[in-house]
Amino acid sequence: MDRDPTLSANGSSRGGEELSPHAVAFDDARMEVIMGRLLQVGVLLSASVVLVGGVMYLAAHAATRASYRVFTANPIQLRHPAALLRGIARGDASAIVELGILLLVATPICRVVFAVIAFAIQRDRLYVTISLTVLAVLLLGMVRGS
Amino acid sequence: MPLLCFILLIFAGSFVAGLLGALTGLGGGVVLIPLLTLAFHVDMRYAIGASLISVIATSSGAAAAYVREGYSNVRIGMFLEVATTLGAVLGAYLATRAPTRALAMIFGVVLIYSAWLSRSKMEEDAAAVVENPWSDRLGMSAAYPDGAHGGHTSYKVDRIPAGFATMFGAGVLSGLLGIGSGAVKVLAMDKIMRIPFKVSTTTSNFMIGVTAAASAGIYLARGYVNPGLAFPVMLGVLAGSLLGAKILVHSRVSLLRTIFAVVIAVLGIEMIVNGWLGKV
């Protein structure tokens, strides 16, 4: 992948060492560039998994008729993490799509985790606290759901 | 309808929704949900689940492009995400309890409001001089690149409590209806907190993904995200919005915005009528 021009604009010539505590110019602009790249990689990864799962889904269910008129919640196999893992191991298409979706949901959460680390490197206590609060609410949503 | 045909149609529709959403700045959800429920007769809960996933994809997919411009403010975003994520958890909790016809009618009202907002949205106010000590205390004061001379224009943030409260409301709408509610987020930052327009729109994009992730856990656990529906929707909206963002750079969209505003207002009325009659 081509290098992001803004990386060099921020006075850095190193590519993969963004997390080093000795990084010289670790300012907000640099932080946002890394976050942007993080999100891009996450969405590409999850879209690829969803695409693979989707093609398999089409192949497996080609004969069925599609209707989403009546709501029936997804079977428990797609909602419980352990069961989902078994589904993926079996090569179940729905489970693979669901994995891609989980990767996608994890992407913005990773961004917040990264923000906690980045603000900690900047020794910005206020924003470490604020980022941790956002992270706590995100985890609350996960726990409340299950 | 045979599955392949159905999925291709959903993909094509989602692609157009993503394209229009990016071109008009309103996001894919506002077209996608009426399309799925009114045209494809998809249950509102499936439509909301699939839309919420596509919102995360769009927001994350556009992030790198937005960062490159250097307008977004990570501190303002993170601070306000406390409000939007709390709202989103509440909204998703309410969505699992509210009847679908009530959701459809609320969605209709939001569509009509978005249509009305989009008429007046693009104007950029002359930079107001803001003096608020909390802007510095919370580390939100910053500067954005000023194209012409390679310099920077500095700005401060005002009316933080009112902006925070509006962001909570934006979060509730996002969690309740599975949309990004970018229009309300920009409204809170641009009009209430008097943050420069470009900073507001780019920062809003980052917040949309985190906000949607907060309610996604609840939707996933409740089984609202159907894999067979979510995969063509997510891929379609993502592809459409990425193309839209590319076109946007070199095209005039004012006529398109006007047409789009009328279309979503009509869709809004249709959602309200269908909700009222219990047909959703």
Residue A16 lies in a domain: no
Question: Is B64–A104 a contact, with Cβ atoms under 8 angstroms apart?
Answer: no
In whole angstroms, give the CA distance from residue B158 to residue B123.
Answer: 19
Q: CB distance from A51 to chain B under 8 Å?
A: yes
Distance from C-alpha of B209 to C-alpha of B241, rounded to nearest angstrom? 14
| Any domain includes A135 | yes
Q: What is the pLDDT of residues B132-164, one digit of tens each?
A: 888 888 888 888 887 666 778 888 888 999 999
Say if residue A3's pLDDT is above 80.
Answer: no
Mean pLDDT to the nearest integer, B68-75: 83
Total beta-carbon pairs less than 8 A apart between chain A and chain B: 215
Please give the pLDDT value at position A116. Answer: 95
Please give the structure tokens belonging to residue A17: 């060492």
Domain range for A123 is 23-62+77-145
Task: Report the complex ipTM.
Answer: 0.89
- Do A58 and B3 lie within an 8 Å CB cutoff? yes
In DSSP notation, B74-127 reads HHHHHHHHHHHHHHHHHHHHHHTTS-HHHHHHHHHHHHHHHHHHHHHTT-----
Q: Give me chain A's average pLDDT, please.
A: 79
Tell me if A31 is assigned to some domain: yes
Q: Which of A103, A145, A139 is nearest to B224 (CA)?
A: A145
Residue A1 located in a structural domain? no
Residue A5 included in any domain:
no
Domain assignment of residue A113, yes or no: yes
Residue A23's pLDDT is what? 45
Count of domains for chain A: 1
Interface test with A, best of B5, B220, B235, B280 (most A CBs within 10 A): B220
Please check whether residue A2 lies inside any domain of the structure.
no
- Domain count across chain B: 1
pLDDT at B186: 84
Residue B21's pLDDT band (cuts 50, 70, 90): confident
How far away is chain A from the Cα of B52, in angstroms, using its nearest Cα? 10
Structural domain that includes position B50: 3-276
pLDDT of residue A146: 57
For residue B148, the model assigns a pLDDT of 64
B143: its two tokens: 């500067």
Q: If you average pLDDT over residues B102-128, what whole number do you get?
A: 77
